Amino acid sequence: MKMLGGRKEKGQLINQAFLNPQFFALSSGGPRVTDSQGVPWQGSFVNANGDLTVDLRSNIAAESRAKIVYEYLIQFTTDPLVVDTLRFLMTREVAHFQMFSAALATIEPNFPPGVLQGDPRFTHVYFNMSSGEGARGPWNEGQGPWPKGENWVFVEDPIKHVMATAALKKQPVEGTKQTPEAVDKADHELSRRRKQQVDGAVPPGAARWSDYGATSDPPK
């Protein structure tokens, strides 16, 4: 709140930060490996999933949040040099967003994340969970993000639908041209390709942590 109180209060806050005993006593004026609240750095700060497409999407989201933070910070100062600095840093977030997006586009297929494909019985089904007037749009009606000939399937009465399909165990494939057989085939092919990528990342002759599956096809 002091940052919003004018130049005098901003200056006082900056002065207090530099005079904070911890700033000199604990780090001799050097950077402390903490977050903005003073919490020490820890391994949980590393957001890695093991799937490159997931990690890239996480990076894209992080760049988006950082860009908005710089927008807010620019509103807190009238110093033209500070504004220029913040605008430069904000623009770098935009550049990083573009880089991660371009890297994600080079991975095919990159959706859905991971190896296993979605169950075709449910990939295109949308259940009306609204109590009252619902919202309709390209996220739950029409063609959606799929190729021509595929579409969302809107279930107006979920309870009635669940009863009619024996708790969805008899849910038919609707709205998509995919079949369970085609999905199973894709799962095996993507699993094989992922195994090749992992094996190829290990230098020849290097020790492996396990030889399981080294000479066999991926388990079904």
Report how far residue 97's alpha carbon sits from residue 91's, in angstroms, rounded to the nearest whole number.
10
Residue 40 lies in a domain: no
pLDDT at 182 over 80: yes
What is the tens place of the pLDDT at every residue in 124-151? 999 999 988 888 999 999 999 999 999 9
Residue labelled with tokens 């998509």: 176
> How many domains are contained in the chain?
3
Query: 3-class DSSP state for residue 155?
Result: strand
Q: How confident is the model at residue 181 (pLDDT cuts 50, 70, 90)?
A: very high
Domain hosting 18: range is: 1-34
Considering the domain architecture, whether residues 129 and 110 belong to the same structural domain is answered as no
DSSP of 91-154: HHHHHHHHHHHHHHHTSSS-SSSSSSPPPTTTTTEEE---SSS---STTTSSSTTSPTT---EE
Report how far residue 26's alpha carbon sits from residue 38's, in angstroms, rounded to the nearest whole number.
12
Residue 137 lies in a domain: yes
Find out whether 10 and 2 touch, Cβ atoms under 8 Å.
Answer: yes
Angle CA(218)–CA(219)–CA(220) in degrees, nearest 5? Answer: 115
Q: According to the per-residue pLDDT averaged within each range, which of 96-110, 124-138, 204-218 is highest?
A: 96-110
Considering the domain architecture, whether residues 189 and 146 belong to the same structural domain is answered as yes
Residue 207 lies in a domain: no
- Give the residue from 83, 114, 145 where a domain finishes: 114
Percentage of the chain surpassing pLDDT 70?
85
Report how far residue 83's alpha carbon sits from residue 194's, in angstroms, rounded to the nearest whole number.
46
Q: How far is CA 72 from the centre of its chain?
A: 23
More confident residue, 144 or 2: 144
Q: Would you call 161 exposed, middle or buried from its count of C-beta atoms within 10 A (0-12, 13-18, 19+)?
A: middle
- How much is the pLDDT for 14? 74
Residue 17 lies in a domain: yes
Residue 180 lies in a domain: yes
pLDDT at 115 over 90: yes
Name the residue among 51, 52, 53, 33 with its Cα closest to residue 43: 33
Residue 97 lies in a domain: yes
What is the tens place of the pLDDT at every residue in 69-96? 999 999 999 999 999 999 999 999 999 9
Name the residue among 121, 183, 178 with its Cα closest to residue 153: 121
Report how far residue 208's alpha carbon sits from residue 198's, in angstroms, rounded to the nearest whole number.
11
Considering the domain architecture, whether residues 142 and 189 belong to the same structural domain is answered as yes
What is the tens place of the pLDDT at every residue in 3-33? 777 888 888 777 776 666 565 566 665 667 8
Considering the domain architecture, whether residues 107 and 131 belong to the same structural domain is answered as no
The residue type of 57 is R
- How much is the pLDDT for 212? 64
- Which token pair is 143? 């063609």
Report how far residue 76's alpha carbon sits from residue 71's, in angstroms, rounded to the nearest whole number.
9
- Which token pair is 204? 């020849």
- How much is the pLDDT for 10? 80
More confident residue, 118 or 32: 118
Residue 208 lies in a domain: no
Considering the domain architecture, whether residues 105 and 157 belong to the same structural domain is answered as no
Residue 9 lies in a domain: yes
The mean of the pLDDT values for the chain is 87
| Average pLDDT rounded to a whole number, residues 197-220 | 67
